[in-house]
Amino acid sequence: MDNYSFDRVKDNLSVICDNISEAYDKYRSDGSKVDIMAVTKTVPPEVVNWVFSLGLDLLGENRVQEFLSKKDSYNKYSDYGTPPRIHFIGHLQTNKVKYIVDDVDMIQSVDSLRLAQEINRLATAHNKVMDVLCEVNIGGEESKSGVSPDELIPLLEQLAPMEGIRVKGLMTIPPPTDSDIFLGKMEELFNNIKDRKLKGISMETLSMGMTHDYVEAVKHGSTLVRIGTGIFGARNYV
C-alpha cells in the first residue's frame, strides 16, 4: 500500500475524466458513452476498492489466478448500491474459462472459435449468457493475441448461433507506434461490421485505448478505455 495514495488516484481519475470529456467534445457527436475501466493487474484489492468508492465500477482483470486471489476482497457494492462490473481482458486459455465463468460480466479477449466454444459450453451449463468481445490483432503483430481483420467476419458468423455467448463488439491493442493510424483502422472495421448488421451480432462496444493513447482512442470512436498506470501510477509487473 506504500506506493499508493488515495488522493493521487483520485486526482489521476479526475484528469482522465477531463481529458476524455474534452476529446469527446472535440471529436465526437454520436451520443455514445465512453466507459472508463480500471485495469487492476498487480493492484492490491484495497486500492481497487478506492476507485470503486469514487464511482468507477468497471474493473479489468488480466490474469485468472490473480483475479481469483483478489475477488473475494473486492467490495460487493458501491456507495451507490451497485456491484462492480468485472471484465476479463487478458489472454484466456480454454482450460481456465471454468474458473471465471461465474464471476465476470464480460470476456473481452475471444480470439478463436475453440475459446468461444468453451465459453459457450460452460456458460450454458451455468444457465447464463456470457457477453464477449472479439479481440482483433489490428496491427498484425506476432507477439499479440487476436484474430486478423480478414478472419473476423468468418469468426463472428460462427459465434452468432451460440446460445451461451452474446457478441457485443470488438477489442484491440494497437501497436504502440503509429497507434493513431491503427485506431483509425479499427474504427473503420468496427463501423463496417456494424453496417453489415450481421444476424446475432451486436456492435455496441469498441474497447480500445490505454494510458498512452486513450485520448486518440476516444477520437476514433472508442466506447471503453482500459486504464491502469494512468489511474494507479507505475507498477512492477510480475
pLDDT at 177: 87
**Whole-number Å distance between alpha carbons of 92 and 128:** 19
Q: Is 161 exposed, middle or buried (0-12, 13-18, 19+ CB in 10 A)?
A: exposed
Domain that holds residue 96: 6-232
Q: Looking at the domain assignment, is residue 188 inside a domain? A: yes
- Record the cell numbers describing residue 176, joined without a space: 504502440
Q: To which residue does cell 465476470 refer?
A: 104
Q: What does the pLDDT read at residue 237?
A: 46
Number of domains observed in the structure of the chain: 1
Q: Would you say residue 72 lies in a domain?
A: yes
Q: What is the pLDDT of residue 30?
A: 79
The answer to whether residue 81 is domain-embedded is: yes
- Asked if residue 237 belongs to a domain, the reply is no
Q: What is the CATH number of the domain that holds 121?
A: 3.20.20.10
**And the C-alpha cell for 32?**
455514445
Q: What is the pLDDT along the chain (238 residues), one digit of tens a residue?
A: 557 899 999 999 999 999 999 999 999 887 788 999 999 999 999 999 999 988 899 999 999 999 999 999 999 887 777 889 999 999 999 999 999 999 999 999 999 999 999 999 999 999 999 999 999 999 999 889 999 999 999 999 999 999 999 999 999 999 988 889 999 999 999 999 999 999 999 999 999 999 999 999 999 999 999 999 999 998 754 4
Whether 1 is in a domain gets the answer no
Residue with cell 458501491: 78
Q: Which residues pair with 133 in a beta bridge?
A: 169
